Amino acid sequence: MTERAKEEIIEKIKRSRVKDDKVVKVVKEMKKARVQVLRNDEWKIKNKLVLKERKMYVPKDKSLRLEIIWLHHNTPIEGHRE
């Protein structure tokens, strides 16, 4: 995956968090409490990305999740490129 593709997908993840009720609720709680970490480090906000258990949380956006899977599994070494 190119650096540009990584940056584009990260921006899509940041924008799509408003579509996921679970993330919206957690972010609202964090903003209300004025904290960057919530529930014993389970949830964090770092560089405008939501992290759950130290991993980037990808909101429940089916097309975004499919795009991420495609980007990571469609490599020349895997033999999936057209």
List, for residues 21-43, the tens digit of each pLDDT value: 888 888 888 888 887 777 677 88
Residue scoring higher pLDDT (80 or 10): 10
Tens of pLDDT along 42-80? 888 888 888 888 899 898 889 999 998 888 776 555 554
Return phi, psi of residue 56, to 5°: -60, 125
pLDDT at 75: 59
pLDDT at 11: 93
Do 61 and 19 meet the contact criterion of CB atoms below 8 Å apart? yes
Provide the sign of the torsion angle of the four alpha carbons 45, 46, 51, 54, taken in this order: negative
Q: Which residue is associated with the tokens 């970490």?
A: 37
